[in-house]
Amino acid sequence: DTAVSQTPKYLVTQMGNDKSIKCEQNLGHDTMYWYKQDSKKFLKIMFSYNNKELIINETVPNRFSPKSPDKAHLNLHINSLELGDSAVYFCASSQVGSRRSSYNEQFFGPGTRLTVL
């Protein structure tokens, strides 16, 4: 069974369009993340949600809006897509619970390759 899944795997769209990427985890984790990996392979965190509450929000344009309908899902909606949004987007999850000071392994999804034309 897939632990962290993302759909779609590939997404090709025109500039200016609005698109969504879905993420689901079946690990029972309480924390989910979105990362962006650009063409230079830098992997940067964008958002993190704990129990559907936003806890990490990096300097990301407000065209990007994460939505967490429940603990198992964290979707990423992107408005007015730009060429620079082309990248691979990874979803991840971990179990943080009440022990915020201790590290918890993050499990990553397979990634969604977004190409903006």
Partner 1 sequence: DAKTTQPPSMDCAEGRAANLPCNHSTISGNEYVYWYRQIHSQGPQYIIHGLKNNETNEMASLIITEDRKSSTLILPHATLRDTAVYYCIVRVDSGGYQKVTFGTGTKLQVIP
- The contact pattern for partner 1, residues 30-59, with x = CB under 8 A and - = no contact, is -x---------xxxxx--x-x----xx---
Residue 21 makes CB contacts below 8 A (sequence gap 6+) with 6, 7, 8, 11, 75, 76, 78, 89, 91, 112, 114
Rule CB under 8 A: say whether 27 interacts with partner 1: no
State in angstroms the smallest separation of the CB of 19 from partner 1.
20
Q: Which stretch binds partner 1 (CB under 8 A): 10-18, 62-70, 72-80, 90-98?
A: 90-98
Rule CB under 8 A: say whether 90 interacts with partner 1: yes
Percent composition of the chain: helix, strand, coil (DSSP 3-state, to 5)? 5, 55, 45
Report which residue type is found at 40.
Answer: K
Rule CB under 8 A: say whether 70 interacts with partner 1: no
Q: Is 100 helix (H, G, I), strand (E, B) or coil?
A: coil
Contact 32, 91 (CB under 8 A): yes
Q: Among 32, 96, 114, 116, which residue interacts with partner 1 (rule: CB under 8 A)?
A: 96
Residue ranges binding partner 1 (CB under 8 A): 4, 31, 41-45, 48, 50, 55-56, 90, 92, 96, 100-101, 103-111
